[in-house]
Structures are given as structure tokens and as C-alpha cells.
């Protein structure tokens, strides 16, 4: 091989670049973070919308964000993530002055850091240093981030989320690339600790949950007309609660304890368990066991409920429209619980912003929002276009395994609107014990008669989510908010008068509308207490329809 100084120089140059990608902290990826350069009446590169001011103290400039309980105040910056950047470090100075949290836990001050891919989709791996109370003058803070695969941009957004009062000052923001090795080692160590803790808890809990004998299990259910019947042909009325957290956590939060309390103290006869396909498969955050612990926890819930003669609805807690990955999920779940008398399959949590034809048969889901002016957008996720397999494909995936378990299908408008079922878009069961249609009824939903009551005369319906809050949630228009004191008794009266199947949302102190005030399982006065009375057999008189 011919010797070449050019090759040596080039190799050294490239090695220098690789080292420089995290070793040189002199140049910040976030320009003008010291707030000293001016542009018009504000700092260069930093917008100053309402609630944000450019301040000066003893010759030093900084940003000040001042709380407004009715507003989200935010400053938006975007940084291009370079291919060689595997980890980033943000340092800054902050001074917090009497910052009081608003109505929700996240109504505080923070710096939102969102990684985005080339299509603008949010990726995991961000962080949000938050601020409350007061600091003793200026405080230096930092946060280190692993850059997720596929990230091309990082959004840096100092913000105040409807905080009650106070302010915070921000200065000297610097964003630099760093060596990812220490963060990767820490992540792996933390994951191992969490996996060990999950295993420890499972070992403690498992002996308390013997697998029920066949004679202890409740009878298998099937659909006839608009009723759910047991194996003797007697009508069954499913009433209970929805238990969340396994859709956002691979270990859930107090899952088995919540099941026991809901059975023993709240008289639930059905548990709606929210789950997700990534945790089931074992690809969720901090999962190192291929999903074995997660699947075991679902088994434990099924066994515990079955031993008490109670049914479990396994709810795939996803939004918008089903995709191919959800077909594979249901094939796996249906194979595991094939003809299990305790288990019903809720195919997809909340479809929305698509046509009835695409809902049933699949097709391209566009980025367009619903044209119905009464439909409330229940989260701020940006709509994206993609191919959906449709709900019928999920039914078929279950039936192809030979599983005849009842399946439950939610309608449009975040699973509220079932009107299309009577307009030619009903699903074909194809060899099972029947299909039940799910509706989610909340105070901001109107036209009960057209959206689900008419369907209930032909098909059994399952009100998989329902509930009310004292305070208006931020996504609800003021004219569509109704106080629980009027809505709850009228709704419960309707449910009892018609014996609609229902699970109240939610058996958790933080997933609103909350049945619980705390992990002592104290019922909330506005929703938990009346729901508990209804589940205990207290009758509510029929009220007016919405």
C-alpha cells in the first residue's frame, strides 16, 4: 500500500471532528443564550409574546416569564440536531419568585425539551426541568439528554402552564454536545434496578393470586339482540371501573391493589384494564424482560377478577385509528385468552377524525380534523396521515385465532359517536360470541339520543368511559362544560333505567375525571361518591337527556 501523508492528515482530521462533537463546549448550539444582544425591543433570537419580558439588572439582561392562570405562556426555539450528536447538555441560570402551581400538577414553570423526527413527530427522550416556589437569588441548573434515534430537531420551550401566580427569570442558556457513554451506562443501570424491583414485587404478590379453578370462573358471555347473556341465557349487567396506568407504565400503578379495592369496596362486576401493545411486546421504556412481567401482571388481574366472579375488559388504549401493529397485538392477546370466560376484548380505545368507511374497512387517514363543530379535540397531538387497517381487521384477527370472546368496538368522536352503526357500518362478527359497541360519555358530549341511545335499542352498548369534573378541562369550550351536580345524577339515572353496561373513568387519583382523591381510595365528592353509590345499588331517578 502506498504511503500517503494526505491519508494520515485526513484520518487525524476526522478523528478530531469526532472528538470535537462533544469535547468542545465553547460554542453553544443555542445562539444568543446570554440574552445580551438586542433585536428590536427584545433579545436576539428570542421571541417575547404576552407574558414574556426582556429585563435588565445592573447591566445584565435576562428573560422574565410572568404567570397568568388563564394562559399558556411559552417561548419557542428550535435547534437542529447534528448526526454526530448522541447526547446534549443544557445549562442555564434561573431565578424563581413566588411561583404558585395552578389547578393541575403540571401547571407550573418549566423548560420543555422535545425531540422531533423529520416528519415532526415527537420522540421519547426529552425532559422538562420544572420550577415552583422561590429560589434564593439566581440558581445554576443543568439537564443532560440522550438523543433518540431519528431525531433531527430539538424544541427548547421555556413555559408557564397556567400557573396561579409568580414568575421566573432565565439567563445564560447553553446547549452543547457531550459524551453519551455516562448517560447510557446510567440508563442501563436504572433499567436493571426497575426490572429487579418489578420482579421483587411480583414475587411478593404472586402467591396471593392463585389461578382460579374452572368452577370459580364466571359464566361465558354472548350477545343476543341488544343484550349480553350468560351461558344459561340470563341477562348480565356489567358495571365497574376503568383502571388506567398500564398504558403509560410497564409496571402500572397499584394495579392489583386497585383491582381488590374495586371488587371488595366498590362492588365492581367488571374491570376495564387499559393496556398498550408496546408494553405487551416488551419494547416500552425500561423493559428488559421482553414484556414477560407486563403480560404476567395482566394474567394476575384476570386471575384475581375471575376468582371473584368478575369480568375483565382488555382495552387497547390507543387513539385515532388502528394500524397493522395492532392486528399482530390482537392475534397474540386472543391466542393467550382464547375463550377465557373472564376476558372481553376492547379493540381500540378512541377512534377519531376519520370517516365511517375508513373506521370499518381501513384506508388512508388524513390530517383533516372533523368538520362537526360540536366535536371537541381532546388532546393537542398534531394529526398525521397514515394507513389504517380498520376495525373489521381487528375483529378478524381475533376470530382467526379461534377465539370467540365478545369483542367491543368504539365509535367515532373519541369513541362517543355510534350513529354510523345504524347506517350500514356495523362490524361482522364472523364466528364469535358477538360484538358490543362502546361509547365514552362525558359532559361536553351532546345528542345522547342520536349518538348512542338509538344504537342501544339494536345492539348492546358498553359505556367504557364516563365521568365529570368540577373544573373545566382546558380543551373543553366554556359553553360545553357542565357541573357534575347536574350532569352526574341525570347520567347515572339513564344508565340505571336502561341497564347500560358501564365502567367509570377513572380508578386513579390523577387521570381525570377521577373517581379517587388519593391512594387511600377516598372517593372524589363530585364523581367518585355518586359512582360508588350507583355501583352499590343506590338508585338515581331518570333525568333529562343531553
pLDDT at residue number 201: 53
Q: What is the DSSP string of 295-352?
A: HHHHHHHHHHHHHTT-EEEEEE--EE---HHHHHHHHHHHHHTTT-TTEEEE--SEE-
Report helix angle 292-307 to 181-205, nearest 10: 20
- Whether the CB-CB separation of 378 and 403 falls below 8 Å is answered with no
Say how far apart CA 85 and CA 154 lie, in whole Å: 11
CA pair distance 128, 296, nearest whole angstrom: 32
- Is the entire prediction scored with pTM above 0.85? no
Q: With contact defined as beta carbons under 8 Å apart, do 108 and 99 qualify?
A: yes
Domains and CATH numbers, the chain: 22-179 (2.60.120.260), 212-535 (3.20.20.80)
Asked if 228 contacts 450 with a C-beta cutoff of 8 angstroms, the reply is no
Whole-angstrom distance, CA of residue 322 vs CA of residue 361: 11
Residues in CB range of 197: below 8 A, 6 or more apart: none
The full length of the chain comes to: 546
Strands 165-177 and 60-66: antiparallel
CA separation for the pair 175, 153 (Å, rounded): 13
Q: Which three cell numbers stand for residue 158?
A: 421555556
According to the model, what pLDDT value does residue 3 have? Answer: 33
The pLDDT score that the predictor gives to residue 375 is 66
Minimum mean pLDDT among 105-109, 167-171, 311-315, 444-448: which range?
Answer: 105-109
pLDDT at residue 355, as a whole number: 94
Edge-to-edge strands, sheet with 52-57: 52-57, 60-66, 165-177, 87-100, 139-146
Question: Which pLDDT does position 10 carry in this prediction?
Answer: 38
For residue 201, give the C-alpha cell.
414485587
**pLDDT tens figures, 198-239:** 566 555 444 455 677 766 789 999 999 999 999 999 999 999
Positive or negative, the CA dihedral 372, 378, 383, 388 is negative
Residue found by looking up cell 401493545 in the block: 277
What pLDDT does 161 receive? Answer: 85
Q: Are 102 and 172 in contact (CB under 8 A)?
A: no
Question: What are the CB-based long-range contacts (under 8 Å, 24+) for 355-361?
Answer: 356/412, 356/420, 356/423, 356/425, 357/425, 358/321, 358/388, 358/390, 359/321, 359/390, 359/391, 359/411, 359/412, 359/420, 359/425, 360/390, 360/391, 360/392, 360/425, 360/427, 361/390, 361/392
Q: 484-498 vs 528-535: helix axis angle to the nearest 10?
A: 20
pLDDT exceeding 90 applies to what percent of the chain? 71
Q: How do residues 1-36 score in pLDDT, each as one tens digit?
A: 333 334 333 333 333 333 334 434 358 999 999 999
d(C-alpha 37, C-alpha 230), whole Å? 74
Q: What pLDDT, on the 0 to 100 scale, is given for residue 8?
A: 36
Q: Which three cell numbers stand for residue 419?
A: 350513529
Residues 6+ apart with CB under 8 A from 375: 352, 413
Q: What's the pLDDT score for residue 374?
A: 58
Query: What does pLDDT average to over the chain?
Result: 88
Q: Are strands 222-224 and 227-229 parallel, antiparallel or unpaired?
A: antiparallel
pLDDT at 475 over 70: no
Q: What radius of gyration, in Å, describes the C-alpha atoms of the chain?
A: 27
Residues 6+ positions from 6 with CB-CB distance below 8 Å = none
The pLDDT of 380-388, averaged and rounded, is 77
pLDDT, tens digit, 9 for 90 and up, residues 326-368: 999 999 999 999 999 999 999 999 999 999 999 999 999 887 7
Angle at 295 between CA 292 and CA 298, to 5 degrees: 150
Amino acid at each position: 500500500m502506498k504511503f500517503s501523508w494526505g491519508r494520515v492528515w485526513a484520518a487525524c482530521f476526522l478523528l478530531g471532528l469526532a472528538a470535537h462533537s462533544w469535547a468542545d463546549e465553547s460554542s453553544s448550539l443555542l445562539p444568543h443564550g446570554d440574552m445580551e444582544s438586542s433585536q428590536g425591543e427584545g433579545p436576539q433570537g428570542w421571541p417575547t409574546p404576552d407574558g414574556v419580558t426582556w429585563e435588565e439588572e445592573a447591566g445584565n439582561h435576562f428573560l422574565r416569564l410572568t404567570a397568568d392562570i388563564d394562559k399558556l405562556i411559552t417561548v419557542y426555539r428550535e435547534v437542529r440536531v447534528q448526526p454526530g450528536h448522541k447526547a446534549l447538555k443544557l445549562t442555564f441560570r434561573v431565578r424563581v419568585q413566588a411561583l404558585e402551581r395552578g389547578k393541575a400538577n403540571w401547571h407550573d414553570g418549566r423548560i420543555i425539551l422535545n425531540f422531533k423526527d423529520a416528519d415532526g413527530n415527537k420522540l421519547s427522550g426529552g425532559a422538562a426541568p420544572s420550577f415552583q416556589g422561590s429560589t434564593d437569588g439566581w440558581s445554576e441548573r443543568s439537564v443532560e439528554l440522550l438523543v433518540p434515534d431519528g431525531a433531527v430537531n430539538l424544541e427548547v420551550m421555556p413555559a408557564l402552564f397556567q400557573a396561579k401566580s409568580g414568575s421566573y427569570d432565565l439567563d445564560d442558556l447553553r446547549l452543547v454536545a457531550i459524551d453519551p457513554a455516562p448517560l447510557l451506562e446510567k440508563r442501563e443501570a436504572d433499567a436493571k434496578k426497575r426490572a429487579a424491583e418489578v420482579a421483587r414485587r411480583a414475587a411478593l404478590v404472586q402467591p396471593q393470586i392463585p389461578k382460579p379453578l374452572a368452577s370459580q370462573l364466571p359464566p361465558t358471555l354472548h350477545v343476543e339482540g341488544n343484550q349480553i347473556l350468560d351461558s344459561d341465557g340470563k341477562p348480565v349487567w356489567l358495571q365497574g371501573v376503568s383502571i388506567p396506568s398500564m398504558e403509560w407504565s410497564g409496571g402500572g400503578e397499584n394495579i392489583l391493589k386497585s383491582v381488590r379495592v374495586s371488587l371488595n369496596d366498590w362492588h365492581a362486576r367488571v374491570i376495564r384494564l387499559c393496556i398498550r401493545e408496546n408494553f405487551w411486546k416488551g419494547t416500552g421504556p425500561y423493559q428488559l424482560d421482553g414484556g414477560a412481567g407486563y403480560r404476567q401482571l395482566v394474567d394476575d388481574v384476570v386471575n384475581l377478577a375471575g376468582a371473584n366472579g368478575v369480568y375483565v375488559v382488555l382495552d387497547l388504549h390507543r387513539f385515532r385509528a388502528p394500524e397493522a401493529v395492532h392486528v399482530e397485538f390482537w392475534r397474540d392477546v386472543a391466542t393467550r385468552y382464547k375463550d377465557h370466560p373472564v376476558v372481553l376484548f376492547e379493540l381500540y380505545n378512541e377512534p377519531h377524525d376519520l370517516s365511517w368507511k375508513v373506521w370499518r374497512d381501513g384506508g388512508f387517514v388524513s390530517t383533516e380534523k372533523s368538520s362537526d363543530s360540536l366535536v371537541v379535540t381532546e388532546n393537542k397531538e398534531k394529526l398525521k396521515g397514515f394507513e389504517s387497517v380498520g376495525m373489521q381487521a381487528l375483529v378478524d384477527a381475533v376470530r382467526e385465532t379461534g377465539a370467540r370472546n365478545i369483542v367491543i368496538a368504539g365509535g367515532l368522536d373519541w369513541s362517543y359517536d355510534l350513529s354510523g352503526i345504524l347506517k350500514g357500518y356495523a362490524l361482522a362478527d364472523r364466528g364469535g360470541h358477538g360484538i358490543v359497541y362502546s361509547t365514552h360519555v362525558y359532559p361536553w358530549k351532546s345528542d345522547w339520543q342520536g349518538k348512542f341511545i338509538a344504537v342501544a335499542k339494536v345492539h348492546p352498548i358498553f359505556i367504557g368511559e364516563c365521568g365529570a369534573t368540577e373544573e373545566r378541562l382546558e380543551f373543553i369550550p366554556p359553553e360545553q362544560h357542565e357541573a357534575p351536580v347536574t350532569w352526574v345524577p341525570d347520567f347515572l339515572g339513564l344508565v340505571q333505567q336502561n341497564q347500560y353496561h358501564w365502567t367509570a373513568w377513572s380508578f386513579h387519583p390523577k387521570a381525570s375525571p377521577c373517581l379517587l382523591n388519593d391512594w387511600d381510595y377516598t372517593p372524589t365528592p363530585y364523581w367518585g361518591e355518586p359512582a360508588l353509590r350507583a355501583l352499590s345499588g343506590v338508585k338515581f331517578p331518570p333525568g333529562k337527556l343531553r
